[in-house]
Amino acid sequence: IPSPVEYADVVSFTTHKVLRGPRGGMILSKAAHASAIDKAIFPGMQGGPIMSAVAAKAIALKECATAQYQSYAKEVIVNAKALAKSLEDEGMRAVSGGTETHLALIDIRSTGVNGKVADERCGRAGISLNKNAIPYDPESPAVTSGIRVGTPAVTTQGMGAEQMPVIASLIARAIKDGEDEAKIAQIRKEVNALTAKFPVYPA
């Protein structure tokens, strides 16, 4: 995806998630808008800077310039495409036919379960995702007919496209079988077994 910075007057992004830095965000703008943005943010919305967080953001941005990060970013998208396809293989629909980014929006109406319930069931199974509205959603924003899934975390842990069908199956089972506590417990065991093979902090 081409960088929007050359074309957009204002670009904002988080410094956690895909960037893998500390929790926070950044706003980039053309010089003509910088003063207005500064006045809107400080002092009303922003207090004193936390220098450890500033340093962590600097390290994350430096990491972005490395070949390793570029490889990771490409793998995130490969995994997101594979996960979206795998969820379609499980009978759900990837909105827009797939994804070109780190996340995918999935229409889960075919399961007979709404996004709010799916989010809760997956959470009990140890799977982190979000309920999300889909275009022309018949459900309210508090309920939704979709889920949003992303691949930065699993990619950082070392998972690849071959693990995405496994993850999709776990998600589908948690959504469809989530009323059964024994089945949720079994799915959680499988989630724990999978993540144990790809620890967040390898020894």
What's residue 1's pLDDT? 63
What's the pLDDT tens digit per position in 188-198?
999 999 999 99
Q: Are 151 and 79 in contact (CB under 8 A)?
A: yes
Name the packing angle between helices 164-177 and 181-197 (round to 10°): 160
Element (H, E) at 104: strand 103-107
Tell me the CATH number for domain 77-197: 3.90.1150.10
Q: In the chain, which residues have pLDDT < 70? A: 1
pLDDT value, residue 42 = 85
For the chain, the structural domain boundaries read 10-64, 77-197
Rounded Cα–Cα distance for residues 71 and 83 (Å): 18
Cα-based angle 85, 89, 103 (whole degrees, multiple of 5): 30
pLDDT tens track for 28-75:
999 999 999 999 998 888 878 889 999 999 999 999 999 999 999 999
How far is residue 110's CA from residue 131's CA, in Å, rounded to a whole number? 15
Amino acid at 172: A
Overall size of the chain counted in residues = 203
**Largest alpha-carbon pair distance within the chain?**
59
CA distance 75 to 70: 9
The confidence score (pLDDT) of residue 86 equals: 99
